[in-house]
Amino acid sequence: MNVNQGGRALPQRTVAFDRETNAVLLIEQRLLPHEFKIVAVKNFRATAAAIQSMVVRGAGAIGATAAYGLAQGALAFLGADPRKFSTHMETVYQTLKQARPTAVDPVNAMNEVRTAMLPGETVAEQQALALAAAEEFANSDVAHCRAIGVHGAKLIRNGMRILTHCNAGWLAFVDVGSATAPIYAAQAQGKTFHVFCDETRPRSQGATLTAWELAQQKIPHQIIADNAAGHLMQRGEIDLVIVGSDRVLGRTGEVANKIGTYTKAVLAARHGVPFYVAIPLSTIDWNLKRGLDIPIEEREEAEVLGAWGVNRAGKRQYLRVANPTSGARNPGFDVTPPDLITGIITPLGILAPKELWKRRKNLGGPD
């Protein structure tokens, strides 16, 4: 999508790769919405750290980052010993995998790259195949998001008020986004509508990233406190909810996503507001048997106890908001059961959550 840079709207991917310097290029998302900056990450450990510290976040973006990180690790290997290379690649893989334990996208992405490397007979061949596969992964991520947009835009009618939670926008992918894909596609079709962005405490990705994205694309929107959606639904002021996901269980249709998603699904069900989850196929986990087994990260207390923003001088800063002698609980994700979900918007069409397993062969699942 476009970013306003120096008065001009220039196209910019969230994740890219520079072959000459073997660097992963990332939009430094922790500086947004107050500053726009591209960082060049120079080695696979730094790439894992960038995923872990949320320089880059969001299902597709960390998938592509892990894919590029694996290729980056491969390309950094000096020598021609296939066994040493194999040991090295296992370290690269595990390091990137452990950067974000709740997400399935990095693992799926890296598995694709590893599979693509198999035909390589030499280290050099495997290195070349790794980079080609990572590039292919990033390009297909963009194509999948565009396809989500085509299907999802059919749900959007003129005058609708759409709620979204957290950021499943183009900043969460290589480009276009999942939850935002129908929004951008509907805008391209000339439809007019309004978006409510949940603030999404404690990290405020809705107020910062999603609002920034929508502003770049000139889509009418307002930020609301996470507490406000229930009231707005009660008064009939929300017509549609679209969120993304970090992991959808193919066997059950359960959806893991940013903390607070489950709450919005419960409210939407009570008010008969359609609740959709937009995902690329790589977000589907075909192995896990129940949502209760999805690991829920407990993140640091400081996120809940304060806030990051900019002061009057425009400088980024953290403030302690909470009582200085109190602590916090900070689960990062929650799990929404399939009975609360109207449909899953995939690149192949919109499905009921329970249909995923039935149609697993078409969706890249097991036999």
Residue 248 is inside which H or E element, if any? strand 247-249
In the complex with a copy of itself, the residue whose CB is nearer, 137 or 333, is 333
Alpha-carbon distances, residue 316 vs 30, 52, 243, 307 (angstroms): 10, 20, 28, 11
Among the residue ranges 96-104, 265-273, 277-285, 350-358, the one whose residues contact a copy of itself (CB under 8 A): 265-273
Q: Tokens representing 332?
A: 């990062």
Of residues 110, 155, 163, 158, the one with CA closest to residue 134 = 110
What is the Cβ-side half-sphere exposure of residue 118, based on CA atoms within 13 angstroms? 6
DSSP 96: H
Residues 23-52 that bind a copy of itself (CB under 8 A): 32-34
Does position 158 interact with a copy of itself (CB under 8 A)? The reply is no
Tell me if 274 contacts a copy of itself by CB under 8 A. no
| Residue 246 known to be catalytic | yes
Q: Which of 141, 175, 285, 334 binds a copy of itself (CB under 8 A)?
A: 334
- CB 354 within 8 Å of CB 287: no
Piece of the chain touching a copy of itself by CB under 8 A; list 122-130, 139-147, 167-175, 261-269: 261-269
Q: Which of 141, 175, 226, 246 is catalytic?
A: 246
Nearer to a copy of itself, 165 or 251 (CB): 165
Segment 12-15 long-range contacts (CB within 8 Å, at least 24 positions apart): 13/138, 13/142, 13/174, 13/175, 14/56, 14/58, 14/61, 14/64, 14/170, 14/171, 14/172, 14/173, 14/174, 14/175, 15/56, 15/61, 15/64, 15/65, 15/68, 15/138, 15/174
Min. distance of Cβ 207 from a copy of itself in angstroms? 4
Binding residues among 295-314 for a copy of itself as defined by CB under 8 A: 296, 304-311
Rg (CA), the chain: 20
DSSP 8-state assignment for residue 209: I
Residue 270 as a binder of a copy of itself (CB under 8 A): the answer is yes
In the complex, minimum distance from the CB of residue 305 to a copy of itself, in angstroms, rounded to a whole number: 7
Q: Which of 40, 80, 188, 225 binds a copy of itself (CB under 8 A)?
A: 225
By CB under 8 A, tell whether 273 contacts a copy of itself: no
329 binds a copy of itself (CB under 8 A): yes
Least CB distance from residue 15 to a copy of itself, whole Å? 21
| Structure token pair of residue 93 | 């893989």
Query: Please, are residues 185 and 149 in contact by the beta-carbon 8 Å criterion?
Result: yes
**Which residues are near a copy of itself by CB under 8 A?**
32-34, 196-197, 199-202, 204, 207-208, 211-212, 214-215, 221-232, 234, 258-260, 262-263, 266-267, 270, 296, 304-311, 317, 319-331, 333-335
Q: Supply the residues annotated as catalytic.
A: 246
